[in-house]
């Protein structure tokens, strides 16, 4: 099965782009309505749908038990990684990303198809809980215990997969507060890829994450704005040989709760003690 997950923040026309040209036989997946529940502050902008609702969507796409699924988009798999993670979390064994996405397909001179693909309903049976996840309470516990003891490196590390300027709090185009979760390390998802939108080689990815403090002995958690591009980071970490937990609610959930701290600046704990106050004045 081929799944086309054409979506990008600020571009609501993914389906139109799909109709104009997609991989032959690819089925369109609507990220906003099929890979997420409606946004609510306490769950973020793209809450995960219930397992049953997700199974219904997967069957609409025509997926059967035992199928091999390949997902792609036109943005370096930043969106397609969401369905990759969700299907893996649901227990599907063979789920892959087309490295480089639609751009790589075009660059290879391969044909595109126009119009809608409507496959027969599938019979896939999906589960839940096959990938590690974090909620806000777990993230709080991680960051509170993320201390260096006796000069040793921390045994847990939280990565912020958003653009560095959003991490620092210089801009925030969509979420309630600017900045990042205290203790998180900036690790923009864009740095997982080369200029063509393909993943860096596994050895290069491993060097990137090791430079951020990750090793085989460190537990890793990842968040972004709404849990979408963080899935791309989980995939990159897997290519590098590291298993990571996803915080699905991500910063859109965290920053909506005035009781949870947000810091600004380039360091994990902010630029100084004053940065521990969030923008609503809460300590």
Question: What is the distance, to the nearest Å, from the Cα of residue 177 to the centroid of all Cα atoms in its chain?
Answer: 20
- Regarding whether 195 and 153 lie in a shared domain, the answer is yes
Q: In a 10 Å sphere around its CB, with 0-12 CB exposed, 13-18 middle and 19+ buried, how is residue 72 labelled?
A: buried
- Regarding whether 265 and 142 lie in a shared domain, the answer is yes
pTM above 0.85, yes or no: yes
- Regarding whether 183 and 264 lie in a shared domain, the answer is yes
Residue 198 among the catalytic residues: no
Helices 229-239 and 202-211: crossing angle in degrees, nearest 10, is: 110
- Would you say the C-alpha torsion 203, 207, 208, 210 has a positive or negative sign? positive
Does 269 map to a domain? Answer: yes
Does 115 map to a domain? Answer: no
- Regarding whether 145 and 103 lie in a shared domain, the answer is no
Classify the phi-psi angles of 124: left when phi > 0, otherwise alpha if psi is within -120 to 50, otherwise beta: beta
Q: Which of 55, 88, 108 is the last residue of a domain?
A: 108
- Regarding whether 181 and 98 lie in a shared domain, the answer is no
Does 195 map to a domain? Answer: yes
The Cβ of residue 114 has, within 10 Å, a number of other Cβ atoms equal to 9
Does 251 map to a domain? Answer: yes
Domain count, the chain: 2
Does 151 map to a domain? Answer: yes
Q: Of 201, 218, 57, 91, which Cα lies nearest the Cα of 142?
A: 218
Rounded distance between C-alpha atoms, residue 123 and residue 88, angstroms = 17
| Active-site residue identified among 36, 102, 187, 224 | 224
- Would you say the C-alpha torsion 135, 138, 143, 149 has a positive or negative sign? negative
Which domain CATH number covers 74?
3.40.250.10
- What confidence score (pLDDT) does residue 200 get? 98
- What confidence score (pLDDT) does residue 163 get? 96
Beta strand residue intervals within 14-161, DSSP E: 27-28, 69-72, 95-97, 156-160
Q: Of 7, 245, 8, 239, which Cα lies nearest the Cα of 139?
A: 245
Mean pLDDT, contiguous 10-residue spans, the chain (283 residues) = 92 94 98 94 94 97 97 96 98 96 97 97 96 96 62 80 96 94 95 96 97 94 96 98 98 96 92 43 32
- What confidence score (pLDDT) does residue 125 get? 97
Does 141 map to a domain? Answer: yes
Residue with tokens 């036109």: 74
| Structural domain for 227, as ranges | 136-273
């Amino acid at each position: 099965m081929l799944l086309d997950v054409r979506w990008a923040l600020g571009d609501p026309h993914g389906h139109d782009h799909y109709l104009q040209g997609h991989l032959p036989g690819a089925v369109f997946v609507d990220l906003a309505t099929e890979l997420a529940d409606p946004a609510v502050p306490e769950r973020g902008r793209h809450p995960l749908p219930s397992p049953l609702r997700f199974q219904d969507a997967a069957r609409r796409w025509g997926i059967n038990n035992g199928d091999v699924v390949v997902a792609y988009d036109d943005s370096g798999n930043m969106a397609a990684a969401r369905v990759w993670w969700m299907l893996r979390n649901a227990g599907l064994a063979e789920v892959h990303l087309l490295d480089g996405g639609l751009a790589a397909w075009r660059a290879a001179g391969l044909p595109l198809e126009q119009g809608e693909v409507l496959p027969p309903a599938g019979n896939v049976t999906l589960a839940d809980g096959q990938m590690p996840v974090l909620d806000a309470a777990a993230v709080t516990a991680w960051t509170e215990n993320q201390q260096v003891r006796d000069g040793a490196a921390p045994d847990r590390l939280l990565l912020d997969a958003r653009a560095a300027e959003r991490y620092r709090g210089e801009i925030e185009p969509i979420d309630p507060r600017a900045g990042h979760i205290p203790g998180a390390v900036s690790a923009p998802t864009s740095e997982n890829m080369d200029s063509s939108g393909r993943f860096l080689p596994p050895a290069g990815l491993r060097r990137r994450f090791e430079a951020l403090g990750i090793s085989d002995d460190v537990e890793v958690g990842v968040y972004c704005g709404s849990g979408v591009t963080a899935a791309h980071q989980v995939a990159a970490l897997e290519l590098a040989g590291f298993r990571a937990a996803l915080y699905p609610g991500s910063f859109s959930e965290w920053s909506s709760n005035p009781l949870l701290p947000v810091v600004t600046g380039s360091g994990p704990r902010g630029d100084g003690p004053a940065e521990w106050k969030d923008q609503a004045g809460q300590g």
